């Protein structure tokens, strides 16, 4: 396992910035700001940030900070109007960035001062003891990109492109010369803005020559399911797959970021690489502590080596996390691409979701974990984020309580960071039909309120004053768990599965339960979770001989206490170098037992 210097784990709190402080409860489909409200940067008061920090959080990811395409008139501030035919929702997707050097004007009390208001939020966040992460989306940008706040010498994407060719190494986009872009054919009754009649919503958008679309579609008229609101960035890969940049030497996965930085110093790289590196360095200068990269695997790993080594030269402790969904690519993006953390979705989250829904066996989890042991520290764990269904929605679990064992396992099985999504801690079910978005996911496209979370916001008192007793209890569970993880040395130490040992040696132990041990020099933990929503299980949990020896225990009796709620004290008996502990575990209960 990777040695780390932290005392405990990192915990990332993802917050959808424009929804956090919105107290409006109208939730009209396709509603405007006037109808449905919008949250502001200023809603993150010292009180709000202290409450987030006290939940057991080390990093806050403000989603949707860079100015993205949206439907609202900001022409008084020198910003052009966006076309509803190429914007998803009214509030727009944060992943269709229109100006990388500006903050979303919706978030500012005074749009003229939007960047300053974000700097003030950075200062408040740092004062509260939180490190700040924002999004960078290198694979694509909004169809109508316009830099209104470019630093001196920065030229807009595409401004110097040769548009007479499909591809050139230093073009920022791919083109279809001689063809014009056409708006997709809408399906299933979809109409921009729900059919509202406004000037630009006319089924037309002027773009000649047509550019390739963000998800890689080369069609001048993309499909309705394509990412038609975005254009693909060219990283120096020709349409036939030829790469116009240097390859990293084979052994470069083992080299540090300084050596990666030195390697690229002597290379000529495509223009798009430099543009995105400069964007990242700009935000570091503003005071940001790290980045979350959207769809990182759609961009070549060599670019990440160049980008991330440049970032680390400036800020060695920058926190760099990315979406990579192909397990075959994990190690390349970590070692060669110099990523700190990747989403552990395709194996860990997907398996856990299946088990929580009552289908899968817990046997699968240790197998997944074992397969990732060399990179377990880099595999960031989550149960919710803006792309995934809310736990409490009927399509996932229909009840936030059912995720408790999964949350304990997710947060304690590895040394990797844990991420939670705002509202997860109070059981937000995302039941609204807000417009472009649909129920089960909190909309990233629309102006909406987030009802359960609004009860915690409590008219901006941020004290949970309107939460039900059950919601308060859930938030307490999250607070206890996360605070334990950020202060536990064992969770940054060693791991051993005891699940299969107990399946073989323990009567009544079964595949709805999971158990494992974590330890460091001064902390020893046994973690047991019951994934069954209906059954209590009782058994004589056993610790195998190798753990008893590793922990230096003699044949004797030891006291163990539950770290989650401090209510239970149990006895561990060691006899003939085998540990025995009587466990009676309630439906959906977890125990984090520490050795006194």
DSSP string for 140-195:
EEETT---SSPPTTPPPTTTT--TTSS--TT-SB-EETT----PPPP-TT--GGGG
What is the per-residue DSSP string for 467-495?
--HHHHHHHHHHHHHHHHHHH-SGGGSEE
Per-residue pLDDT tens over the stretch 392-401: 999 999 999 9
| Cβ–Cβ < 8 Å for 168, 104 | no
The per-residue pLDDT for range 104-126, each reduced to its tens digit, is 999 999 999 999 999 999 999 99
Q: Write out pLDDT tens, residues 273-327.
A: 999 999 999 999 999 999 999 999 999 999 999 999 999 999 999 999 999 999 9
pLDDT value for 199: 78
Predicted confidence (pLDDT) per residue in 460-485, tens digit: 999 999 999 999 999 999 999 999 99
Mean pLDDT value of segment 174-199: 95
Both tokens assigned to 363: 């046997």
Q: Is residue 489 left, alpha or beta, with left meaning phi > 0 and alpha meaning psi from -120 to 50? A: alpha
Q: How confident is the model at residue 182 (pLDDT cuts 50, 70, 90)?
A: very high
Only one residue has tokens 């398996």, namely 351
What is the reported pLDDT for 200?
A: 82
| pLDDT at res. 270 | 98
Whether the predicted model's global pTM rises above the 0.85 cut: yes
Average pLDDT over residues 322-346: 98
Q: How confident is the model at residue 198 (pLDDT cuts 50, 70, 90)?
A: confident
What percentage of the chain exceeds 70 in pLDDT? 99
pLDDT of 5: 43
All domains of the chain in start order, with CATH = 11-163+240-487 (3.20.20.80), 490-595 (2.60.40.1180)
Band of pLDDT at residue 3, cut at 50, 70 and 90 = very low
Measured distance CA(104)–CA(121) in Å, rounded: 14
Going by pLDDT thresholds of 50, 70 and 90, the confidence category of residue 185 is very high
Q: What is the pLDDT of residues 494-508, one digit of tens each?
A: 999 999 999 999 999
Q: What is the pLDDT of residue 567?
A: 87
Q: What is the C-alpha to C-alpha distance for residues 267 and 499, in angstroms, rounded to an integer? A: 51
Angle at 353 between CA 351 and CA 359, to 5 degrees: 80
Query: What is the pLDDT of the chain when averaged over all its residues?
Result: 97
Looking at residue 363, its pLDDT comes to 98
According to the model, what pLDDT value does residue 333 have?
98
Sequence-distant (6+) residues with CB within 8 A of 482 are 11, 55, 56, 57, 411, 418, 420
Rounded distance, CA 62 to CA 73, Å? 24
Give the pLDDT confidence of 214-270 residue by residue, as tens digits.
999 999 999 999 999 999 999 999 999 999 999 999 999 999 999 999 999 999 999
φ, ψ for residue 387, nearest 5 deg: -85, -20
538: its two tokens: 């009782």
pLDDT greater than 60 at residue 6: no
Distance of CA 97 to the CA centre of its chain: 18
C-alpha 120/C-alpha 118 separation (Å) is 5
Q: What is the pLDDT of residue 196?
A: 92
């Amino acid at each position: 396992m990777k040695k780390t210097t932290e005392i405990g784990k990192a915990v990332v709190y993802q917050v959808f910035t424009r929804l956090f402080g919105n107290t409006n409860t109208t939730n009209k489909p396709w509603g405007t700001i006037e109808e449905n409200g919008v949250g502001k940067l200023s809603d993150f008061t010292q009180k709000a940030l202290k409450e987030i920090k006290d939940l057991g959080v080390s990093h806050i990811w403000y989603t949707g900070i860079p100015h993205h395409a949206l439907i609202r008139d900001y022409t008084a501030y020198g910003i052009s109007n966006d076309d509803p035919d190429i914007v998803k929702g009214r509030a727009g997707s944060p992943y269709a960035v229109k100006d990388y050097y500006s903050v979303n004007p919706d978030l500012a009390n005074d749009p003229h001062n939007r960047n300053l208001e974000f700097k003030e939020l950075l200062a408040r966040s740092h004062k509260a003891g939180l490190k700040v992460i924002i999004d960078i989306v290198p694979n694509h940008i909004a169809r109508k990109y316009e830099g209104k706040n470019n630093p001196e010498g920065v030229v807009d994407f595409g401004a110097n492109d040769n548009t007479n060719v499909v591809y050139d190494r230093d073009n920022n986009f791919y083109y279809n010369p001689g063809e014009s872009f056409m708006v997709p054919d809408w399906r299933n009754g979809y109409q921009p803005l729900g059919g509202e009649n406004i000037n630009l919503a006319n089924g037309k958008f002027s773009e000649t020559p047509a550019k390739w679309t963000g998800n890689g579609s080369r069609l001048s008229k993309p499909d309705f399911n394509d990412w038609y609101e975005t254009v693909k960035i060219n990283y120096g890969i020709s349409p036939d797959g030829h790469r116009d940049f240097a390859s990293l030497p084979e052994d470069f996965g083992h080299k540090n970021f300084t050596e990666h930085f030195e390697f690229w110093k002597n290379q000529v790289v495509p223009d798009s690489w430099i543009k995105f590196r400069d964007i990242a360095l700009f935000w570091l200068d503003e005071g940001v502590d790290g980045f979350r990269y959207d769809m990182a695997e759609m961009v070549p790993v060599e670019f990440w080596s160049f980008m991330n080594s440049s970032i680390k030269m400036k800020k060695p402790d920058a926190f760099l996390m990315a979406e990579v969904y192909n397990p075959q690519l994990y190690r390349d993006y970590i070692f060669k691409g110099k990523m700190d953390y990747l989403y552990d979705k395709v194996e860990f989250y997907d398996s856990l979701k299946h088990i929580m829904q009552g289908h899968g066996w817990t046997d699968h989890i240790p197998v997944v974990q074992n397969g990732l042991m060399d990179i377990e520290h880099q595999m960031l764990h989550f149960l919710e984020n803006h792309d995934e269904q809310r736990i409490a929605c009927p399509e996932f679990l229909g009840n936030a309580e059912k995720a408790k064992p999964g949350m304990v396992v997710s947060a304690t099985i590895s040394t990797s960071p844990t991420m939670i999504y705002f509202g997860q801690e109070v059981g937000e079910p995302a039941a609204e039909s807000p417009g472009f978005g649909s129920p089960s996911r909190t909309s990233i496209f629309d102006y909406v309120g987030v009802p359960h979370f609004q009860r915690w916001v409590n008219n901006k008192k941020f004290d949970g004053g309107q939460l039900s007793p059950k919601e308060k209890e859930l938030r307490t569970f999250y607070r206890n768990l996360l605070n334990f993880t950020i202060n536990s040395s064992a969770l940054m130490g060693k791991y051993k599965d005891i699940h299969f040992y107990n399946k073989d040696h323990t009567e009544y132990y079964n595949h709805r339960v999971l158990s494992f041990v974590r330890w460091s020099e001064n902390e020893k933990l046994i973690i047991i979770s019951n994934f069954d929503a209906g059954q209590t299980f009782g058994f004589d949990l056993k610790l195998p001989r190798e753990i008893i020896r590793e922990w230096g225990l003699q044949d004797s009796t030891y006291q163990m206490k539950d770290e989650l709620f401090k209510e239970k004290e149990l006895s561990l008996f060691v006899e003939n170098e085998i540990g025995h502990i009587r466990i009676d575990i309630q439906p959906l209960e977890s125990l984090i037992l520490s050795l006194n």
